[in-house]
Amino acid sequence: MVTVLNVSTSRARALPALLCCTILAGLPVAASAQTAPATQTAPAAATSATQGGTIKTLRVEGTQRIEPETALSYTKLRQGQAYTNELLDQAIKDLYASDLFADVSISGASTGDIVIRVRENPIINRVILEGNKRLKDDKITKEIRLKPRQIFTRSAVRADVARIVELYRRQGRFAASVDPKMVNLDQNRVDVVFEISEGPKSKVRQINILGNEKFDDGELRAQMATKESRFFRLLSSNTSYDQDRLAYDQQKLRQFYLTQGYADFRVTSAVAELTPDRKDFIITYVVEEGPRYKFGDVTVDSDIRDFDGKQLAKTLPIKKGDWYNAKAVEDTVDNLSQTTGLFGYAFTDVAPEFNRDREALTMSINFHIGQAQRTYVERVEITGNTQTQDKVIRREVRLAEGDAFNSFQVKRSQDRINSLGYFQDKFEIKQEQGSSPDRVVLNANVEEKSTGELQLSAGYSSLERFIIQANITQRNFRGRGQELRAGVNYSSYSKSIELGFTEPYLFDRNVAVGVDVFRRDYNSFGFNGNDRRTTYGQVSTGFQVRAGVPLTEYLQLAGRYGLSYDEVTLDEGTFFTNGQCDVLKAGSYLCSALGNRFTSSIGYSLIYDSLNSRLRPTAGQRVSFSQDFAGLGGDVKYIRTRLEGAKFRGLGSGFIASVTAEGGYIHSLEGARADGNDRIRINDRFYLGMPQFRGFDIRGVGPRVLRTPYTLDADGRQILQTDRSQIVDDALGGRAYYLAKVELELPLGSGARELGLRPSIYAQVGSLFGLKRPPATANFPKGIVNGQEVFLPLPVTNAAGQPIYTYTLADGSTVPTICAAGIPGAGGTCNGVVGNNPVIRANPFDERFLGDSPKPRVTVGVGVNWNSPFGPLRIDLAKALLTQPGDDPKLITFNVGTQF
């Protein structure tokens, strides 16, 4: 039953006030309203025409938009033809079935003057959605049938109501309901309004498993993608009910049991029941575990003469007597396929043949390698690239047309293309049958992604305080694989501007060249207790030219030349006295670093790289040996040597293990320095700490000078200051270092992965050492004060080495004198016993050189990377288990707003 309200044109837009009068009843009622006229009107139309007759006249009344002839075309009635009651009934049904008319009736059956009276279905003026928040209008309108300027029908309304409800069910909202309403307008037009009540998202309240005896419910639920709704899974999307996921979980259960030896396992039923409040689901699985099987005889037979089945069987990972594992069988099939692919057989069929012994509970398997022909690459097809030139992709493919097929080279080509970073993840090279059985077509169907990056960020770092960063990078410039980058960084302790360009294939040859231009302004800092103080400033301006060539598939040789101009300064207001660097304030190690100098260096690197991805590797290894020689002109001479290595391995289920290690040594080619400091200047040394050595503060490991002032206790005794805010901590760097890390990246659920969370646990060991002890800053004199031997302040002396004092005149002014007491007289005599005030150059302090030890420092910790909406963020919680005197451990560190 449909209740409608006719409104004038001037009031047609006042829909909210009219909706209450235009409600379509529930779906069952609406369904009966469609067919009611056909069953009620037809008998009335044929009254007193039991025998029928001949149609004398035939006309259609009531049409507005539709021509009468068009209406008649839907019936079998024609003027001059005979008619019966059945024919008139069928005509009415046919007109209703056309979906053009809301009402149909026939009169004149008794006289033969047939009049068909119709009322046309209205035209839809607008389709309005109300109440939808979780699904936007564009998501719904493209799924429903009703559209403006189309003919309105109740069947279409019912279908659209069901479709909208289905859309919400796919979102996990099973309590959603849709109330359709219609507002009549003039000119036989209507507005259709769908009032939507979305309801709460239906969660999985409970998962029950019946029939399991070997494994408890918790262990089986852990195998499923669907999870029970709990407060600690607020970020997970797997707690909502999904019918498709229900079938997937059944398959996951079966896979789990098959890997544990239960070959007869099956899920006999899986039922999802909606709770009475329609908010949650309770899922119940009934399973039959069956007996546990072991592997019986495991054999291989091959129809290819190049392979000996007995020899292949000896290399298989599964052995007789092991518990049956379906995953191991699948892996064995893949390994045998890859083995045959290495010898050029691209389309080898490896079929496992099972022989189940239900009495002995064994599963014997024969891996049958079918006959295949050695195949050759017919062509390499590259599709999907709209920006990237073909040659950029093709040069990464290790196989060319006419080459013998090799599955290893296909996998290597796939890894190299993925490492470019120009295309979507999980790219694969498909193998397709060529024009003949011994030909294969390699199809590289890529899906490009954005390779340009514009990063504008502001943040806060525990290392550099406030940070402002602007970087622009195009990793696939002009689609040629070239990299162009520019960056500006500003923080409290560092400022830089850098420009770089890299051409990976110069003149289409496998030679990479690049150039970098930079200006870096860095303020080194030490700690005065917990307060950081700027020590020396270094401004470096220069450039570097790079080139690299491959020696083999995995071995590369890279060379470089760099020229930089370094200006090293100290704050004159803090560290200078009378225009000179004061070693008592700065230390000889800082004063010796001052000056401007050119560094002209040439270097090379020998790199072995078999990583499956340069962006985020999960398998493979990388080893790099590099040396840089400074002294090709310039003012600095040294040889710096570094060795780095990394190995990655996927452990399955999303776990990624990695081991990285590095070490370096710098050897001076200059003579001994007159001031007694190390020949390697402070700004050329290695440093170790955060962020590379987590668990320690920045530059928190290695040689350093701690300067602790003396103070007096309550009894007037001289003791060392214990307040860390009064202790100066200057990191000096080292000549040699080593650092190793073992890390395990942990998998997370799909919801956390969508947020960009990547947690890991790790352990690190390392050290920084090899520095010559700097000269002592001062030797404080000793004296007796209150009967105790103490260190005395260091006095200011004259050219003859005599201490200088100040004598106060009668007018309050002071004059310098060498008299410790009394009035300075003529000829340098001192008259009197009243003590004068000494001019103090420095109060006594204890200076210790610590941390110069190759003994290992060890930390363990947990960290997480997060690609947050306001920039990449890294948080680490690391505990230093083994330290050396002088080290600066730090438990929590974080970076945000800058790359890490």
Cα(92)–Cα(695) distance, integer angstroms: 85
3-state secondary structure 223-271: CCCCCCCCHHHCCCCCCECCHHHHHHHHHHHHHHHHHCCCCCCEEEEEE
Chain centroid offset of residue 503 CA? 27
Burial of 168 (0-12, 13-18, 19+ CB in 10 A): buried
Q: How far apart are CA 740 and CA 319, in angstroms?
A: 37
Q: Cβ–Cβ contacts within 10 Å for residue 223, how many?
A: 15
Which is it for the CA torsion 445, 451, 457, 460, positive or negative?
A: positive
Q: How many CA atoms lie within 13 A of 694 on its CB side?
A: 24
Residue from 773, 765, 804 nearest 883 by CA = 765
List Cα–Cα distances, 150 to 192, 536, 675, in angstroms: 11, 78, 94
Q: Match 């293309």 to its residue by tokens.
A: 417
pTM above 0.75, yes or no: no
758/670 Cα distance (integer angstroms): 47
Q: How many CB atoms lie within 10 A of CB 103?
A: 14
The reported pLDDT for the residue numbered 467 is 67
Q: Concatenated DSSP letters for 468-514?
A: EEEEEEEEEETTTTEEEEEEEEEESSEEEEEEEEEESSGGGSS-EEE
Residue written as token pair 């103070």 = 711
Enter the tokens of residue 422.
């120009």
Q: Is the peptide bond before 691 cis (omega within 30 degrees of 0)?
A: yes
Q: Two tokens at 608? A: 């072995």
564-574: string of b/e by CB count within 10 Å (b at 16+)? bebebebeeee
Which position has the token pair 């209008």?
A: 137
CB 403 within 8 A of CB 412: no
Supply the DSSP string of 272-294, one letter for each residue.
EEE-TTSSEEEEEEEEE-----E
> Radius of gyration over alpha carbons of the chain, in Å?
43
- Residue 663 tokens, joined: 């070490």
Which two structure tokens, joined as six digits, stand for 300?
A: 């291989």
Question: What is the Cα–Cα distance from 334 to 327, expressed in whole angstroms?
Answer: 11
Positions of the chain with pLDDT lower than 70, given as ranges: 1-52, 232, 234-237, 455-467, 492-493, 524-534, 749-756, 867-872, 895-900
Angle at 194 between CA 188 and CA 198, to 5 degrees: 180
Query: Residue 742's Cα: distance from chain center in Å?
Result: 21
Q: In terms of DSSP bridges, do strands 704-712 and 482-491 run parallel, antiparallel, or are they unpaired?
A: unpaired
Instruction: Measure the CA–CA gap between 127 and 847, rounded to whole angstroms.
Output: 83
Q: Strand (E) positions, 147-221? A: 177-185, 189-197, 203-210
578 and 534 Cβ atoms separated by less than 8 Å = no
Both tokens of 822, joined, read 């009394």
pLDDT digits (tens, 9 = 90+) for 123-158: 889 999 998 888 888 888 888 888 888 888 888 899
* C-alpha span between 181 and 22 (Å, rounded): 5
Q: Is the dihedral of CA 313, 316, 321, 325 positive or negative?
A: negative
For the chain, what percentages of helix, strand and coil (3-state, to nearest 5) are there? 20, 45, 35
Q: Which residue bears the tokens 């525990």?
A: 462
Tokens of 844: 């006594």
Structure tokens at 660: 């990285």
Residue 474, both tokens: 């195009």
Q: Which strands form 814-817's sheet, in the order they lie side by side?
A: 814-817, 805-808, 837-838
d(CA 615, CA 422): 11
Q: In whole angstroms, what is the distance from residue 206 CA to residue 213 CA?
A: 19
Please name every residue paired with 521 in a beta bridge, in sequence order, or none if there are none: 495, 539
Q: Give the helix/strand (H/E) hosting 541.
A: strand 531-550
What does the DSSP 8-state code read for residue 688? B
Q: In whole angstroms, how far apart are CA 425 and each of 530, 595, 613, 616?
A: 45, 50, 10, 11
Tell me 762's DSSP state.
Answer: E
